[in-house]
A = this chain, B = another copy of it.
Amino acid sequence: MTFHFTQKVLFKHCDPAGIVFYPRYFEMINDCVEAFFDTALGWPFEEVHKTGAIPTAEISATFRRVSRHGDMLNFALSNSAPGRTSLGLAFAVTCGDELRFEVRSTIVNVDEAGKPLPWPDMIRTKLTTDTGVSR
């Protein structure tokens, strides 16, 4: 099942061409992952970062249609089966029925020194069961 996150395209996101400046999309993706950990997994980033971090190891994006100021974007996040310390995420971002862009990433659970750590059991359990929550 799928976690949903919505983000209106705001003035700050847009470039002189009147469309979203693509590095801003990666901020939105990060916000979506932060909301997923908070809402769906019950492990908010402000807690995660007291003792470790969840860096992104790989990310790829394909931009299919531009987005403009005022567009309401829906981020549909789904996760793969978790690895021991890593997790694959896929995002399909739509406006209405139109697919705007797709992203795939791999994130890793690490300790304060940056060393990969197994996912906590509670998180692993949630990641292997239904995590779909709308927000």
Please tell me which one of the listed residues B47, B62, B69 contacts residue A49 in the complex, with CB atoms under 8 A apart. Answer: B69
Does the CB pair B63–A61 fall under 8 Å? Answer: no
Does the CB pair B12–A23 fall under 8 Å? Answer: yes
A134 interface residue, CB < 8 Å from B? no
Please tell me which one of the listed residues B18, B19, B24, B55 contacts residue A63 in the complex, with CB atoms under 8 A apart. Answer: B55
CA distance A15 to B49 in the complex (A): 11
Most buried by B among A22, A24, A31, A56: A22
B-side contacts of A55, CB under 8 Å: 17, 19, 22, 63, 66
Copies in the complex: 4
Q: Which of A1-47 contact B (CB under 8 A)?
A: 10-12, 14-19, 21-24, 26-27, 29-31, 34, 44-47
Q: A16-B16, A55-B63 are in contact. List 11 more A-B contacts (CB 8 A).
A: A10-B34, A10-B45, A11-B34, A11-B49, A12-B23, A12-B27, A12-B31, A14-B16, A16-B18, A44-B70, A59-B60
Q: Which A residues are within 8 Å of any B CB, using their own CB?
A: 10-12, 14-19, 21-24, 26-27, 29-31, 34, 44-47, 49, 53, 55-63, 66, 68-70, 114
